[in-house]
Amino acid sequence: MSKGVIVYVCSYCDAQYPKWVGRCSQCGKFGTVATEGMVLQRPAKISISTSSTQTINLGDFKNLRVSKFSSGSTEIDRVLGGGIVAGSVSLVTGEPGVGKSTLFLAMAGHLLQKTLYVSGEESAEQVSLRLQRLGISGENISFTTANEVSGLSQVILNKKPVLVVVDSLQTMFSNTSEGVPGSSTQVRAVLSGLIEAAKQGQSAIFVIGHVTKEGVAAGPKSIEHLVDVVLQLEGSPNQGLRFLRAVKNRFGPTDEVGVFQMGQYGLVEVKNPSEIFLSERHQGAGSCVTAVLEGSRSLLIELQALVTHSRLAYPKRATTGFDVNRLGVLLAVLGERAGVKLNYSDVYINLAGGFRSREPALDLAVVAAVASAALKKPLPSDLVVFGEVGLGGEVRPVLAAEKRINEAQRLGFKQVLLPNLPADSQIVSGIELVMIRTVAEAVDWLKC
């Protein structure tokens, strides 16, 4: 081995530098390059023997099935793709106070198998009080405050729990790595040790991690590539609803969403999210009900629009839960193709209930809500609107229209404003379908 060198690492993009810099030249972030160095030894020249290299025919594994077990929560199983995979490692992120520890402590308590809860932030007494508040006995949960990854790995291999919850990643450290707990070097070393323990002991590990000011997982960006699943729990601490999404999932889809509501006994599953989103609906000008597709189910949500006269040189466009750039495009189409000019008006869009979506099916609902607010004409209270809008003003079909219509009928809606459907579509009777081709037709129908 030759003499070691000191390398400084960016905590956002994992770029490396021979000396400290204030701004990372790779990602452009300020203050993300670690001030403590990571000592690396330049390895000696490695000789590779081609005779020991072997290949495997992947066709031999065509009958292989991934075994999953239930987490005890229908919503968590939905997001994970049917259940938890033994030996997998999942990273859970979210804002402080959103309910990450509460949700996964409850999940550990609901499992009948042996589980292990690791906390570097709370004592056993504090965790026990939280279990009492959740109404969980905790008889199947073992607890430890071990925060050194090699010692924790030994506990996992000896106890062989089915599920391990680590709270949190930033409180763990590794004796074999430089830096303080929570630094980019330590976070990567700790996660690598937990992954090795999970594969050897076939224990499913859920690691709770902090987030940065931008809302992304704290630590080097490469930690998201190391784990099998990245879960994100969203929702303001001041609101009752929480949304669990899979940002990355090696064993299932990433378009599912789990909906929870904060109650007296922690986070409770929401069996019918559409009713929650529409429970406090404002039926007036600018209010529109739309159907969005989240994974395997359709949800009805309220989309609100407010149009006011602007006192600024450049009118304001603001959104909550919807892409503000997409709003600018839709307003341009609405003005040029349907004659609803909003050049001197401020426009605000809000998806009620704290929901957020970027689905194209929201386009027509945004157009209808904005036109309703601008013309001061309320939409029918029993109407659901969905469809994609093109730059030419055309309204295009969206996926799973039948599923959206069925959900609308189930909740008692009588009309659906949507694009033309294919001739072979199987639509249930008992609901009126208003099919249009252009945005101008939608505005004309609204005026009538």
Domain spanning 275-447: CATH 3.30.230.10: yes
Instruction: Take residue 300 and report the two structure tokens written for it.
Output: 């009805």
Any idea what the Cα angle at residue 31 is, between residues 29 and 37, rounded to 5°?
115
Non-local CB neighbours of 138 within 8 Å, separated by 6+ positions:
109, 128, 131
What span, in angstroms and rounded, lies between the C-alpha atoms of 207 and 230?
10
DSSP three-state, residue 152? helix
- Break the chain into its structural domains and give their ranges: 1-44, 68-271, 275-447
Note the pLDDT tens digit of each residue in 208-237.
Answer: 998 766 666 666 667 888 999 999 998 866
Residue pair 255/296 in contact (Cβ under 8 Å)? The answer is: no
DSSP structure string for 257-310: EEEEEEETTEEEE-S-HHHHHTTT---STTEEEEEEEETTEEEEEEEEEEEEE-
DSSP structure string for 402-431: HHHHHHHHHTT--EEEEEPPPTT----SSS
pLDDT of residue 210: 82
| Range 68-271: architecture per CATH | 3-Layer(aba) Sandwich (3.40)
Non-local CB neighbours of 80 within 8 Å, separated by 6+ positions:
68, 71, 90, 229, 246, 249, 251, 252
What span, in angstroms and rounded, lies between the C-alpha atoms of 137 and 175?
35
Q: What are phi and psi of 314, to 5 degrees?
A: -120, 110
Cβ neighbourhood burial of 156 (10 Å; 0-12, 13-18, 19+): buried
What span, in angstroms and rounded, lies between the C-alpha atoms of 173 and 195?
14
pLDDT of residue 216: 63
Q: Which residues in the chain land under pLDDT 70?
A: 1-5, 35-53, 212-221, 236-239, 423-429
